Amino acid sequence: MDSRLYLPKLANPPKTVLEYLAMRFPHIDRQTWHERVNHEQIWFADGTMLQCDTPYRHGITVVYSRAVANEPESEESEIIVYQDEHILVADKPHGMVVTPVGNHVERSLLARLRRRTRLTELTPMHRLDRETAGIILFAVQTEGRKLYHRLFANKLVEREYLAVARLESVPPERIWNVANRIVQGEPWFRRRILPGDHPVNALTRIELREYRDGLGLFDLRPDTGKKHQLRLHMASIGFPIFGDLLYPEIREPRPEEPSLQLLAHRLTFADPLSGESRRFNSLRSLRL
């Protein structure tokens, strides 16, 4: 995540903020600080970008992104579908994390959007796995976060996903209502369905919408939001999502295989601030 640094009152202050940063963090060379300024990776709490010659002034806060050496660029860019004073809706590509993690810092969706919009308080209201593409909602202002978080907590957001899976033929059933209990699996990054009669914590309605040349397009409507829920539920009915390397078993990618064909296609909700009906659709598509 972004780091914050308060500029203190000094007896002998440096001429510029950049000089202070170089003094404050001697393990980072001055050229690196200049590069971060040139790439708009340092700004003030009000969103103003730092310049190399910005004079030092105590009592203000500098915000900067934690850097990862030699972090590669993202292969595909996000799309801003909608933005106003309260919310921003982004369309995330496959393979991009939402918040900084590991060596995905500057190329995380949150860091890219904050840098692009200069909205330093921008915060995601829900999550998408790195492998999943599609629509994700952000709150622009701190004051509105609780209201939008509450929409998801109270299940007042209708979420629709699309997924592609291999099919040998059209199955006799076209609709599945999957309800079970998902718990931590092995290894730690996987989840599993707990067999037997246990309290349900994961529900998904799945419908086969289209069949073409050995592939099926499915509509998935989760009522809960457990990690890897859709991937597990698709595998549980015998149709693991095309490109899934974790379910039903961990495996290596096959030649010419696409990324996980799972898309957060649509979000629908009543805006808690305006009461307006909101509906946002992804501009991306799956390989069918």
- Tokens for 201, please give them: 């914590």
User: What single-letter amino acid sits at 18?
Assistant: L
List Cα–Cα distances, 123 to 2, 107, 137, 185, in angstroms: 12, 16, 9, 29
- Tokens for 74, please give them: 């993202």
Residue 171: asked if its preceding bond is cis (omega within 30°), the reply is: no
Task: Produce one character per residue of 144-176: b if its CB has 16 or more CB atoms within 10 Å, e if not.
Answer: beeebeebbeeeebebbbbbbbebeeeeeeeeb
Helix runs in the chain, H state only: 17-24, 30-38, 109-117, 145-153, 229-236
φ/ψ (deg, to 5) at 144 = -95, -5
User: What is the reported pLDDT for 1?
Assistant: 52
User: What is the reported pLDDT for 128?
Assistant: 93
Look-up of token digits 């292969």? 75
Nearest to 121 by CA among 152, 85, 79: 85
Residue 4 CB partners (closer than 8 Å, separation 6+): 45, 61, 62, 63
User: What is the reported pLDDT for 177?
Assistant: 97
User: pLDDT averaged over consecutive 10-residue blocks of the chain (288 residues)?
Assistant: 81 90 82 79 80 91 67 76 96 90 70 88 91 96 90 94 94 95 91 93 97 95 95 97 95 89 98 95 92
Task: Produce one character per residue of 60-86: b if its CB has 16 or more CB atoms within 10 Å, e if not.
Answer: eebbbbeeeeeeeebeeebeebeeeeb
- Tokens for 45, please give them: 């709490």
| Domains in the chain, CATH or no CATH each | 2-65 (3.10.290.10), 79-156 (3.30.2350.10), 159-263 (3.30.2350.10)
